[in-house]
Amino acid sequence: MLFCPTCSSMLIVEIYSGHLRYKCRSCPYNFNITRRTTSRIYPKLKVIDDVLGGAAAWDNVDATDERCPSCSHPRAYFMQIQTRSADEPMTTFYKCCNISCGHRWRE
């Protein structure tokens, strides 16, 4: 998108005598297009914080007798987090104690 250097209006592309040119709708400014011009600007993405604390959140948690739905291991780590409003029950998150599985689920 280009803007007029005279009045700062947005320039449009028009065909004039078989050639392309930029034309201002507000003032008599015209600019002949002699070569292809392109540019891309990619926005920087925001860093997303892990809501549950990432891998460090599972460092000092307790284990319980909960069967893993993936590998049927009899024990799982768990933690409870209030994810909804205060008048609703806490959400329990589980992680399989089997190192080779590591499946995560919630209840």
Give the pLDDT of residue 6. 92
Asked whether residue 49 is domain-assigned, the answer is no
pLDDT at 21 over 90: yes
Q: Is 27 annotated as a binding residue?
A: yes
Q: Nearest-CA neighbor of 68 among 103, 99, 100?
A: 103
Do 31 and 65 belong to one domain? no
Read off the pLDDT band of 39 (50, 70, 90): confident
Give the pLDDT of residue 58. 77
Do 68 and 101 belong to one domain? yes
Q: Is 97 annotated as a binding residue?
A: no
Over residues 20-26, mean pLDDT:
93
Asked whether residue 6 is domain-assigned, the answer is yes
DSSP one-letter string for the chain: --B-TTT-PBEEEEEETTEEEEEESSSS-EEE--S------PPPPPPPPPTT-GGGGGTT-EEES---TTT--S-EEEEEE--S-TTSPPEEEEEES-TTT--EEE-
How many distinct structural domains can be found in the chain? 2
Q: Is 96 annotated as a binding residue?
A: yes
Question: In 43-55, which positions are buried (b, 16+ CB within 10 angstroms) versus exposed (e)?
Answer: eeeeeeeeeeeee
Q: Each residue of 43-97: pLDDT tens digit?
A: 999 887 666 666 677 788 899 999 999 999 999 999 888 888 889 899 999 999 9
Q: Is 24 annotated as a binding residue?
A: yes
Cβ 36 vs Cβ 49: under 8 Å: no
**Domain span holding position 31:** 1-36
Structure pTM?
0.51
Give the pLDDT of residue 50. 67
